[in-house]
Structure 1
C-alpha cells in the first residue's frame, strides 16, 4: 500500500490539473489602448462603460445587452439612454458603480479620473481602457470589446464593415484636389484639432488640408487672427449637441475669408465626428460631401 500512495497522489494531481487547465484555456484576453493585457475567466456578463463613446462601441460590437450602467450623455443607440448612470466621465459615483457588481469596466485612457479608476482596480474590478486614435483603432476596439463581451462574430463583422467603408471613401477621394479646412471644435475658447486627431484624419481622408494640422496639441486653442491669417477655403463646425449654435453665422463678420465669400460654412453633427465609433464613417461621408461642394464653388 505504501508504494501505491504516491501513484494515487500523482493521479489526483493530474486530475486536478486537468480540471484547472481548461479554465485557463477558456480565458478571454485582449490588450487595451494603454498597452496592458486584460484577461477574464469568461466573457463579461456585467459591463459598465465610462464614456459615451465606449457605450456606443459596445453596442456596435454586439455586447450592448451586457451593459448594466453607463455615464451621462450616453445617448446612442437609444437603448443606452435607458441604462442607469454612474456619474459623468470625469466624476464617477464609485459606490453606485461597485454596488452593480460589474465583472468588467470599460474606461477611457485620458478621459476618466485616474484616481477613481485605480481605486476600482484595487477593489478587484478589471478595467479595460480604450481610446481609438485612428480609423483602425476603432475597428480593433470593436473586435477587442466583442471578444471580452462574448460577441466575437458580431464584433468582427462590424469591424470589417467599418474598414471597408473607410477604404471606399479613401479610394474615392485620394486623387481629389486639396481643400484647405478649419474645423471648429469649440467657440469660447476657440479650439480646433491637429492632424493627429481623429477628426484631422477624417479631413485628410476626404482630401482636405487642415490649416492647423501641424500644431503640437491634439485640440489646440487658437484665436480669430490665426484663422484670418490661414484663410481656409472651408470652415466646418461641430457644436453643442446637434446644432452649431450660431458658430458658423459668427464668421460672417469676416467677409474677406474665402470660406465666407464662397459660402463654404458647413455643419456636421458632432456625434458623428467627435466620438471615435463606427458612426465616424457617416460623419466622414458628410465631411467629404461638404468638401466636394466647396470644390464645385471654385
Structure 2
C-alpha cells in the first residue's frame, strides 16, 4: 500500500509539473502562428479540430461536437459514450503522435503550454493553425470558452451561464483552508494556481495563498511540518490522485505524520477528500462542476463558520 501511495504522489507531482512548465505569467490562452483570425468581420471558422487538452476537448464537445475530429486519450472520457468514436492521437502520458494528428487533416490543433509545445512547433512548421492554452484562474476558463466559441463559430453563452451556476452566491467566509496535494513532500497550492483561484471564488481563506517557495511546480509551494502546525487551518482538503487510491489509504498516509493529530482540523473532524481532477487539474467541465458541488456541500451548506 505504501509503495502505491508513493507512486500516486509521484504521478500527481509529474502532472502538476507538466501543467506548470510554461511561463508563469502567461494566464490566458494565446494563439500561435499561423494564427486564426478572431475578428468578427473576417474570421476563419475551424471545422476540423484536434484537441490535446481534456478541458478544451470537453468545451468544444459541448459547443459543437461535430468540429472535434481527434483528441488525446484521457481517463475522464474513457467511459463516456459520446467520445467513444473520436480518434485518439495519444494515450495517458504518451506524447501526441504527429503522424496521427496530420492524418486527420485538422484546421486547428489545441495544445497545453509546457506539455504539447514540441508537437505544436512541428505543426506550425507544417502551417497548421494551433492554439496553446494555460488555465490557472476562473477568468481564464471563461476566456478560453469564449475564444474556442469564436474559433469554431459556436455560441459560448449557454456554457458560460452554466459555469455561473457552479459558484455560490456572494457571501463572506472566514474558513481557513489548507489543500494538501501530497505529503512527501507536503505540497499545497498558493493563489497562483487553479486550486487557489477556485478557493478564492468560494471566499475560502487559503492559508497558503501568499506563500512562496522553491517548489519546481508553478503555483505550488512545499511546506514543513512546522509550517503546517503554524498555519493550523480550520479545514483541510486532501487530494486523491487520479489512480483512485481509496480515501482510507490517503488519510492513513497522512495520519502517520507526527503533526497530523495536533491540527485543529483533524481534531474537529474537518478533513475532506477531493479528487485531483476538478480542484488541482480542471480536467473537464463535469469535474469542475462536481468539485464546486462538493465545495458548496462542505463549506457553504454545513455551517462551518
User: Shorter-chain-normalised TM-score: which range?
Assistant: 0.7 to 0.9
Question: Could you tell which deviates more after superposition, 130-139 or 219-228?
Answer: 219-228
Q: Which has the larger radius of gyration?
A: 1
SS state at 2:139 partner: helix
Equivalent of residue 270 in structure 1, options 273, 276, 289: 276
Aligned CA distance change for structure 1 residues 290 and 197 (closer, same or farther; 3 Å): same
Once the two structures are superposed, the pairs formed by residues 48-63 of structure 1 within 5 Å of their partners are 48-60=50-62, 62-63=63-64
* Within-5 A mapping of 1:74-93: 75-76=76-77, 78=80, 79-87=82-90, 88=92, 91-93=95-97
CA RMSD for the aligned pairs? Answer: 2.7
After superposition, the Cα gap between the structure-2 partners of 1:292 and 1:258, relative to the gap in structure 1 and judged at 3 Å, is farther
Q: Residues of 2 paired with 1:132 and 1:80: CA distance? A: 23
Q: Does 1:207 align with 2:213?
A: no
1:250 corresponds, among 253, 262, 279, to 253
Query: Alignment partner of 1:221: what SS?
Result: strand
Q: 1:187 offset after TM fit, Å?
A: 4.2
Task: Give the equivalent residue in structure 2 for 1:148.
Answer: 151
Alignment of 1:186-197 (within 5 A): 186-197=182-193
Partner SS state of residue 289, structure 1:
helix
Deviation string 1:43-67 (CA, Å, 9 cap, x unpaired) is: 222211112122122223x222322
The answer to whether the 8 A contact 1:121-1:127 is kept is: yes
The 1:111/1:278 distance shift into structure 2, 3 A limit, reads: same
**TM-score, normalization by structure 1:** 0.75
3-state SS of the aligned residue for 1:70? Answer: strand
- Alignment CA distance shift 1:206-1:100 (3 Å): same
What is the CA distance between 1:123 and its match in structure 2? 0.4
Instruction: State the distance in 2 between where 1:138 and 1:63 align.
Output: 17
Question: Which digits, 9 at most, give the CA deviation of each residue in 1:143-172, with x for residues without a partner?
Answer: 22122223x22x221112313543xx141x
Aligned partners of 1:269, 1:242: CA distance in 2, in Å? Answer: 10
Greater RCO structure (CA 8 Å; 6+ sep): 2
Pairwise mapping of residues 167-178 of structure 1 onto structure 2 (< 5 A)?
169-171=168-170, 174-176=171-173, 178=174
Superposition deviation, residue 278 in structure 1:
3.6
